[in-house]
Amino acid sequence: MHNRAKQDPSLVSEAELADRRKKIARYCRLTSKALDLRRSHTNSEDALKVCTTVLEINPEFYTMWNYRREILLSFFQSRPDDKASLCSSELDFVERSLPKNPKSYNMWHHRVWIINHDTSDLDRELDLCSRMLNLDARNFHCWDYRRFIVKKSSKSLLDEMDFTTQKIEQNFSNYSAWHYRSSLLPILFEGESLQKKLDSEFEFVMQAFYTEPSDQSAWLYHRWLLARGASHIITPIVDPRNQNSDPGDLSASDSKRAKKTLLRELSVCAELLEEEPNCKWVILTTALLTSAAHQIGHISSEVLAEKLKAYFLQLKKLDPLRSMYYDDF
């Protein structure tokens, strides 16, 4: 949440100013002390305490995190039996500090560093991710951290796929969940199994855009599925410079399947268009699929031209911010 400036920030009482000056003086004393300790290569409990106090006031002072790690490394060496409990208290410290700035690069990175030293409780980390994502489903630091933990724990990626399904079903506009799904799909499935999976993905995404046709997340995922399922047809439409339209490596059955998919999706969108004639995303996708239908000889150039003209005129009206972009088409 951003700070709301309800009054002139420079109109502050003398008492408040005095209090601020006191806090600033204290902070300066502490940071000076910490930097002196570091310069003298002091890696003691006291040094860690000073470091902690500075970071509690200002978790964005990256040098303090670097110093903290130096102290910890020396503790790991001198007190190897304490390593696990030290790491656990570090995780506690970060967890206490995170609410100050849940999007702090420094704090999330420090957690990564700790986990690289001690992977004994990865379930705790996954639990933290779930809690943080419940607070902010789009916190990409948390999503990236989750991916890091998953890799460390060799958790099943199929389970992760299910996690994205759960998140999407909770909220169809969880763009970050759709994104994660897009990166899992090609890792988990390829070749024939991918083609089979695509059919169920199209089903899944259709539920999303039928429920919330004005939300872009499902539509962008849908566009990506189309490109995966029929790139030799879709790509030249979207990017005329990329004349990668030679389906040379494509088998006859794959080519047939791609055409079937495109025509099926065109029919799905055309049906939705009747219910939602003023939804930009339905029109845009229908325009793309109509062009694809022309590419595969399903509709004539004349019909294509007529339909596209109507679609883009409508798009310019519905989405005037991108009027120049639609003109470009």
Partner 1 sequence: HIAMSYTALSVLKIVGDDFSRLNRKSIINALRSLQCDNGSFMPVATESENDMRFVFCACAISEMLHDWSGFDPKKAVEFIVESQSYDGGFGLRRGTEGHGGSTYCAVAALSLLGAIDSVRDRTGLIRWCISRQGDGFSGRPNKSSDSCYSFWIGATLKMLDAYDLTCPERNREFNMSCQSSFGGFGKVPEARPDLLHSYMGLCGLSLMGLDDLQKIDPVFGFGVRAAAHDPLEHLKTTRGSKSPSS
Task: State which of residues 12, 20, 62, 96 lies at the interface with partner 1 (CB under 8 A).
Answer: 62
Query: Would you say 49 and 62 are in contact if contact means Cβ atoms under 8 Å apart?
Result: no
Tokens of 99: 């609410």
Q: Is 105 near partner 1 (CB under 8 A)? A: yes
Residues 162 and 168: their CA atoms lie apart, in Å, by 10
* Contact range with partner 1 by CB under 8 A, out of 13-21, 83-91, 177-185, 308-316: 177-185
* x/- track of binding to partner 1 for residues 224-253 (CB under 8 A): x-------------xx-x------------
User: Measured between alpha carbons, how far is 55 from 139 in angstroms, rounded to an integer?
Assistant: 22
Which of the residues 37 through 56 are near partner 1 (CB under 8 A)? none
Binding status of residue 2 toward partner 1 by CB under 8 A: yes
Q: Which of 220, 250, 263, 299 binds partner 1 (CB under 8 A)?
A: 220
- 116-138 burial, b at 16+ Cβ within 10 Å, e below that, comes to eebeeebeebbebbeebbeeebe
Site membership for partner 1, residue 16 (CB under 8 A): no
By CB under 8 A, residue 322 contacts partner 1: yes
Q: Rounded to the nearest whole angstrom, what is the least distance from the CB of residue 252 to partner 1 in the complex?
A: 28
Q: Are 288 and 234 in contact (CB under 8 A)?
A: yes
Q: Does 118 bind partner 1 (CB under 8 A)?
A: no
- Paired tokens of 302: 């004349």
Q: How far is the CB of 206 from partner 1 (least distance, A)?
A: 18
Rule CB under 8 A: is residue 67 a binding residue for partner 1? no
Helix (H) / strand (E) containing 29: helix 14-39
- Binders of partner 1: how many residues, by CB under 8 A? 40
Helices 122-135 and 105-117 cross at an angle (nearest 10°) of 160
- State the virtual CA torsion across 309, 312, 313, 315 in degrees, nearest 10: 160
Binding positions for partner 1, rule: CB under 8 A: 2-5, 8-10, 62, 66, 69, 105, 109, 112-113, 138, 140, 143-144, 147, 173, 175-176, 179, 182-183, 215-217, 220, 224, 238-239, 241, 320-325, 328
